[in-house]
Amino acid sequence: MLLHLVRRTAILVASLAVSSVVVFGFMVLLPGDPARVALGVNASEEAVGRLRAEFGLDRPLVEQYASWVSGLLRFDLGRSYVSQVEIAPQILHRLQVTLWLVVCAMLVALVIAVPMGTLMAVRHRRPSGFLLSALSQVGVAVPAFLAGILLITVFAVRLGWLPANGWTPPNEDPAQFLRQLVLPVLSLGLVQGAVLTRYVRSSVLDVQREDYIRTARAKGLGPFRALWRHGFRNAAVPVVTVLALQLSTLLIGAVVVERVFVIPGLGSLLLDQVSNRDLVFVQDIVMLLVVAVLLVNFLVDVLYVVIDPRLRAGHS
Amino acid sequence: MSAQPAGPIDPTRVAGQPRVRRRPGPSLVVGGSIVAAVVLMALLSFVWTPHDPTLVNAAARLRDVGDPEHWLGTDKFGRDVLSQVLVGARTTLFVGVVAVGVAGLLGVPLGVVAAMAPRWVGETLMRAMDLLLAFPALLLAIMFSAVYGGSTLVAMIAIGIATVPSFARIVRSGALQVLSTEYVLAARAAGRRSWGIGLRHVLPNVSSLVIVQASVAFAIAVLAEAALSFLGYGTPPPTPSWGRMLQESQELLFSAPRLAFVPGLAIAVAVLGFNLLGDGLRDRYDPRLEDRR
């Protein structure tokens, strides 16, 4: 158990270090000087030189990297070259908005996927199972931004029940916040739910073939009861893995959905900074997204051991 | 579980004997037909489109579906929607082919090497692949666009690189299975070199896995291209692309929602086609899944 934890932590730290070098190197190695890019082609050499000195771009690369990483560790990301605003508070503010979307979408996905996937597995040879399976295939094929546009057309344009876009912070007007949250969360959550459903189905199908479920059924438990009592914990391990992998899809999916619904989240911030050509800001946001994905993967690996005691025995 | 052997290799099949023909499953038929239709649309667009897809015609703005001259109507600039969808299929397939090609060309050799090289090399390669998974296609493409500006080439390369790990992982696990078979042992005993074993035994035996993965990766590439073009980082105008058609339709959702439906349907159907084709091929090549269908 402890060995497993130490090993995983070492992998996490190494991954974080390598990815920070990759992100930093990517932005440094690419053609174009960030100061020149920020000021535009018409800026004088003098102005570019001043900006380079002000932001330490004239220092050796190793020094620049070290100061960037130490800034990341303290979450002090300095100011933007282009807009001169403090980067860290901006990111934190926008991250809250995106987290609302991602967490709610994940809940929606789970609420859809666990019952649907189980039903599909238990009924997999019957027409109802086949129908649900076909439905989930269609769901997987619809990208979240398309789902968003379709939902807007139905619920905002045709029925007029919900606003087509916008964002109100929850502490300002909770009712409006919820109304505006519904469509973006559904467009992210329905699609992820369809993907997750297929994994739940195959995971439950695997578990159903196990001897302990057969024994439970032979003792007289119904198919759902047997699964509930003995199967779900076992089926959960692969599903949790997929759920974690989906987090990165959701975070990135949120970028596009935020654009559809005009939501001021992290994705919109990233896209705005890309069009502002603010490379350092882009670098910080990308790194934050990568850190989030790596951290979640790490937590899931640790969580396995909690879900499945057999792994605990295997590693101790 | 059936009594069939596990994995992509079928040792019960004797060389020289024909494979037992099975009827293709419904996924394969439906998926294959959809993919064939998309390919036909793209090919057709080279020789014929009802109108010039980029021709701006103020007199024919926002025609409805069913218009005698413009069967799927026109957009806000009077451009013919059907012609744009046809040429858009070409864009989508082009991006898919190049992206999947990049992913396969890098991922397959990496997977084989990771399986055959000393353990630490394989482990290091796979850790690197895990790390690459933390950079999804869209994020990579946005990073690339931040510096190079959005273009079809940037989109294709970014999507391709992001898909490398899935190829490498699948090929590695397949290759490890092949390497544990007796015929590889026999080849080793006969003095065949590693690269000879890789080329003669490993690659042909993992090819079915690669084909299945290519189909799935194609679906991912179509989705990523659509999303990128939707954000304005994919195919630049005036080249028609389904994602950008969707983006352009968004401001007219209240007055002309059909402008969103047509490219939206094209994207969803194409992705469905490639996913079903992948499922169908997997069912056909992987006997373990036979009773799952």
Please write the tens of the pLDDT for every residue from B13-24. 555 555 556 677
CA–CA separation, A25 and A20 (whole Å): 8
Task: Quote the mean pLDDT of chain B.
Answer: 83
The reported pLDDT for the residue numbered B1 is 36
Q: What's the CA gap between A29 and A19, in Å, rounded?
A: 15
Query: Measuring CA to CA, which residue among B232, B243, B242, B248 is closest to residue B61?
Result: B248
Q: Which residues contact B102 (CB under 8 A, 6 or more apart)?
A: B156, B157, B160, B161, B163, B164
Q: Is the pLDDT of residue B12 over 60?
A: no
Mean pLDDT of chain A: 83
Residue B2 predicted with pLDDT over 60 = no
Prior bond of B238 cis (ω within 30°): yes
CB contact under 8 Å between A11 and B127, yes or no, is yes
Residue B219 predicted with pLDDT over 60:
yes
The confidence band for A316, taking pLDDT boundaries of 50, 70 and 90, is very low
Nearest to A142 among B135, B146, B268 (CB): B268
Residue A20 tokens read as 């920070």
Chain A positions touching B275 (Cβ under 8 A) are 137, 140-141
The amino acid occupying position B41 is M
Q: Which of B250, B251, B291 best probes binding to A when mutated, by most A CB atoms within 10 angstroms?
A: B250
Tokens of A193: 């739910």
Residue A315 has pLDDT above 70, yes or no: no
- Angle B6-B10-B11 from CA coordinates, rounded to 5°: 105
Q: What is the distance between the alpha carbons of residues B175 and B9, in angstroms, rounded to a whole number?
A: 10
Cβ neighbours of B268 in A, within 8 Å:
138, 141-143, 146
pTM of the predicted protein model = 0.83
A194 has a pLDDT exceeding 80: yes
Using an 8 Å Cβ cutoff, are B150 and B241 in contact?
A: no
Averaged pLDDT, A297-303: 82
Residue A181 has pLDDT above 50, yes or no: yes
A26 vs B230: CB contact, 8 Å cut-off? no
Alpha-carbon B14 to chain mean position? 32
Backbone angles phi and psi of B80, in degrees to 5: -75, 125
What pLDDT is attached to residue B191?
A: 86
Q: Which residues of A touch B135 (CB under 8 A)?
A: 19, 290
Name the residue in chain A with its Cα closest to that of B260.
A149
Domains and CATH numbers, chain B: 72-286 (1.10.3720.10)
Task: Kindly indicate the confidence band of residue B30, based on its pLDDT and cuts at 50, 70 and 90.
Answer: very high
Cβ neighbours around B115 below 10 Å, total:
23
Which secondary-structure segment (H or E) carries B264?
helix B258-285
Exposed, middle or buried, B8 (CB in 10 Å: 0-12/13-18/19+)? buried
Q: What pLDDT, on the 0 to 100 scale, is given for residue B18?
A: 58
Nearest partner of A177 among A97, A248, A65, A67, judged by Cα: A97
Mutate to test the interface with A, among B30, B142, B222 (most CBs of A within 10 A): B142
Tens digits of residue pLDDT in A10-26: 988 998 999 999 888 87
Residue B293 is predicted with a pLDDT of 40
Q: Which residue has the tokens 């946001």?
A: A285
CB contact at 8 A, A5 and A302 = yes
Q: How far apart are alpha carbons B267 and B287 in whole angstroms? A: 31
CA distance A191 to A139: 6
Tally C-beta pairs within 8 A across A and B: 111
Optimal mutation site among B139, B220, B242, B262, interface A, most CBs of chain A within 10 A: B139
> What does the pLDDT read at residue B289?
47
Q: How far apart are CA B215 and CA B28, in angstroms?
A: 11
Q: State percent of chain B over pLDDT 70.
A: 90
d(CA A170, nearest CA chain B) in Å: 27
Average pLDDT over residues B132-158: 82
Non-local (6+) Cβ contacts of A280 within 8 A are: A27, A34, A55, A78, A80, A81, A87
The H or E element that residue B5 is part of is none
Q: Given pLDDT bands bounded at 50, 70 and 90, which one contains residue A105?
A: very high
Rounded CA gap, B146 and A271, in Å?
9
DSSP label at B2? -
Q: Which residues of B touch A138 (CB under 8 A)?
A: 268, 272
Give me the phi and psi of B283, to 5 degrees please: -55, -40
Q: Is the pLDDT of residue A185 over 60?
A: yes
| Cβ neighbours for A242, distance < 8 A, ≥ 6 positions apart | A195, A196, A199
**What 3 state SS string does B213-250 have?**
HHHHHHHHHHHHHHHHHHHCCCCCCCCCCHHHHHHHHH
Query: Across chain A, how many H-helices and E-strands are there?
Result: 14, 0
* Residue A273 scores a pLDDT above 50: yes
Q: How far is CA B158 from CA A138, B102, B111, B138, B228, in A?
A: 26, 9, 19, 8, 11
pLDDT at B10: 53
The minimal CB distance from A149 to the residues B136, B142, B250 is found for: B250
When mean pLDDT is compared across A33-42, A133-142, A163-172, B259-268, the lowest value belongs to A33-42
B134/A15 touch (CB, cutoff 8 Å), yes or no: yes
Q: What pLDDT was estimated at residue B291? A: 43
Q: Compute the average pLDDT of residues A282-302.
A: 86
- Enter the DSSP assignment of A86: B
Cα(A198)–Cα(A132) distance, integer angstroms: 10
Q: What is the ipTM of this complex?
A: 0.81
Using an 8 Å CB-CB cutoff, list residues of chain B that contact chain A: 1, 127-128, 130-131, 133-136, 138-139, 142-143, 145-148, 219, 223, 226-227, 230-231, 233, 246, 249-250, 253-254, 257, 260, 264, 267-269, 271-272, 275-276, 292
* pLDDT, position B151: 81
Which residues of B are less than 8 Å from A286 in CB distance?
Answer: 139, 142-143
Q: Which of A14, A18, A153 sits opposite B260 (nearest CB)?
A: A153
Contact A274 B146 (CB under 8 A): yes
Between A172 and B150, residue with greater pLDDT: A172
- C-alpha to C-alpha distance for B266 and B39, rounded to whole angstroms: 12
H or E segment to which residue B13 belongs = none
Per-residue confidence band for B4, with pLDDT thresholds at 50, 70 and 90 = very low
Q: For residue B257, what pLDDT is reported?
A: 82
Residues in chain A within 8 Å Cβ distance of B145: 274
Residue contact B231–A142, C-beta within 8 A:
no
pLDDT at B268: 93
* Percentage above 90 pLDDT, chain A: 14
For A109-113, A270-274, B133-137, which range has the lowest pLDDT when averaged over its residues?
A: B133-137
SS3 B103: helix
Question: In A, which residues are within 8 Å of B131 by CB distance?
Answer: 15, 18-19, 22
Mean pLDDT confidence for A206-226: 79
C-alpha triplet A124, A126, A131: angle, nearest 5°: 80
Q: Smallest Cβ distance to A143: which of B1, B133, B226?
A: B226
B142 to A202: CB separation less than 8 angstroms, yes or no: no
Q: With contact defined as beta carbons under 8 Å apart, do A261 and A149 qualify?
A: no
How long, in residues, is chain B?
Answer: 293
pLDDT reported for residue B64? 80
Q: Report the C-alpha gap between A310 and B166 in whole angstroms.
A: 28
Query: Over the stretch B169-194, which tens digit does the pLDDT of each residue have?
Result: 999 988 988 888 888 889 888 888 88
- Residue A312 is predicted with a pLDDT of 62
Residue A189, CA atoms < 13 Å, CB-side half-sphere = 21
Q: Which residue has the tokens 């992290």?
A: A266
Q: What is the pLDDT of residue B284?
A: 80
Angle at A181 between CA A177 and CA A184, to 5 degrees: 155
pLDDT of residue A230 exceeding 80, the answer is no
Provide the shortest C-alpha distance from residue B205 to chain A (in Å).
25
**pLDDT tier at B131, thresholds 50, 70, 90:** confident
